[in-house]
């Protein structure tokens, strides 16, 4: 017999708690049917509703302490933050309660006790979750440092925070796990970064002591626009680009080749990185360092890398 959503849930989009009697007109036996997804033990989703991060967390929080909050990686996924694939696809729910409360203990849940000031918690799409700034600080303790930078870039670019929010959170969190990583990358934040990979590449560049590049620079030669460069040092006419999976398409590869030939003809050197370089960046960093040295950079130059008196658009000689 068919069962309409309205027969058991007035709002068919949300999870519901199963009691010993079942739910509404449905028995416990009926609710064991595989058509009902299970965000966590004792909770079901209405038939046909896919199990996603938001409703998984809603279900977990329904059977948790009323003060429970989604934190760190779970909060990051709710906010759409950039994460490495192995953390982005993790189904574990990260949930925290106040220090004197009982943390949640159940399969698929990482329960913690944390200081959670009222202004560190908001409602996001029906989920009690840490604010973007607090989420960033908590994630700094568990994500690679390059992604801590990528998350800061992303949150500021999307207007979820301003830089002073992150600075204030670093000050508040002194002595906490992750604060050293957050404090380290905050000066390198650049809202002009348009992809997590660009941010991670920039992190490796700066972490290696190389001069700070510009992000997403429009390259103009004799009044003609040539390209928009992911990462560039205009004063040295050096570009670093990251080619992700989208660049594998044949039409995109042809477009990239034409564009890079024009840049080369205008005196620019283009270094292309791929996903492998993000995992093992040392060889790529040596290549970038050599190119910078060849084009006039010296480690004794200011952090910007620019020679005194040289404008940003002037080529190295």
pLDDT reported for residue 8: 46
* Domain locations in the chain as residue ranges: 59-188, 196-294
Residue-wise pLDDT for 158-181, tens only, equals 999 999 999 999 999 999 999 999
**Least-confidence region, from 47-51, 176-180, 239-243, 310-314:** 310-314
Half-sphere exposure of 23 (CA within 13 A, CB side): 20
Look at residue 1 in the predicted model and tell me its pLDDT. 36
The overall average pLDDT reported for the chain is 85
When mean pLDDT is compared across 54-63, 113-122, 250-259, 267-276, the lowest value belongs to 250-259
The DSSP bridge pattern shows strands 224-233 and 238-242 to be: antiparallel
Q: What does the pLDDT look like over 178-206, one tens digit per residue?
A: 999 999 999 999 999 999 999 999 999 99
Q: Indicate whether this model's pTM tops 0.75.
A: yes
CB 39 within 8 A of CB 56: yes
End-to-end CA distance of the chain: 80
Band (pLDDT 50/70/90 cuts) for residue 155 is: very high
Q: Is the pLDDT of residue 47 over 80?
A: no
Integer Cα distance of 66 and 236 in angstroms: 57
The percentage of the chain sitting over the pLDDT mark of 90, rounded to a whole number, equals 55
Whether CATH 3.65.10.10 fits 196-294: no
Please state the φ and ψ torsions of residue 219, each to the nearest 5 degrees.
-95, 120
pLDDT band with cut points at 50, 70 and 90 for residue 60: confident
Say which residue, 41 or 174, is predicted with more confidence.
174
């Amino acid at each position: 017999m068919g069962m309409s959503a309205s027969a058991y849930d007035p709002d068919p989009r949300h999870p519901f708690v199963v009691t010993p009697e079942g739910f509404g007109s449905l028995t416990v036996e009926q609710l064991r049917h595989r058509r009902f997804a299970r965000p966590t033990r004792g909770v079901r989703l209405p038939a046909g509703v896919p199990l996603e991060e938001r409703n998984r967390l809603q279900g977990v929080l329904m059977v948790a302490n009323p003060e429970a909050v989604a934190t760190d990686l779970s909060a990051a996924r709710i906010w759409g933050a950039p994460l490495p694939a192995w953390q982005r696809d993790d189904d574990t729910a990260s949930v925290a309660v106040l220090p004197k409360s009982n943390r949640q203990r159940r399969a698929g849940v990482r329960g913690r006790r944390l200081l959670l000031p009222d202004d560190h918690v908001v409602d996001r799409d029906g989920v009690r979750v840490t604010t973007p700034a607090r989420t960033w600080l908590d994630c700094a303790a568990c994500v690679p440092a390059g992604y801590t930078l990528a998350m800061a870039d992303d949150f500021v670019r999307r207007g979820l925070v301003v830089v002073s929010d992150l600075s204030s959170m670093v000050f508040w969190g002194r002595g906490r796990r992750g604060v050293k990583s957050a404090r380290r990358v905050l000066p390198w934040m650049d809202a002009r970064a348009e992809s997590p990979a660009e941010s991670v590449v920039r992190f490796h560049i700066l972490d290696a002591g190389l001069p700070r590049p510009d992000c997403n620079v429009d390259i103009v030669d004799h009044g003609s626009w040539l390209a928009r460069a992911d990462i560039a040092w205009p004063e040295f006419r050096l570009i670093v680009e990251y080619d992700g999976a989208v660049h594998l398409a044949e039409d995109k590869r042809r477009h990239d080749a034409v564009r890079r030939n024009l840049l080369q003809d205008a005196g620019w050197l283009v270094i292309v990185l791929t996903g492998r370089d993000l995992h093992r960046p040392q060889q790529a960093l040596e290549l970038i360092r050599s190119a910078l040295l060849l084009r006039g950079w010296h480690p004794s130059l200011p952090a910007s890398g620019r020679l005194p008196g040289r404008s940003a658009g002037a080529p190295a000689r």
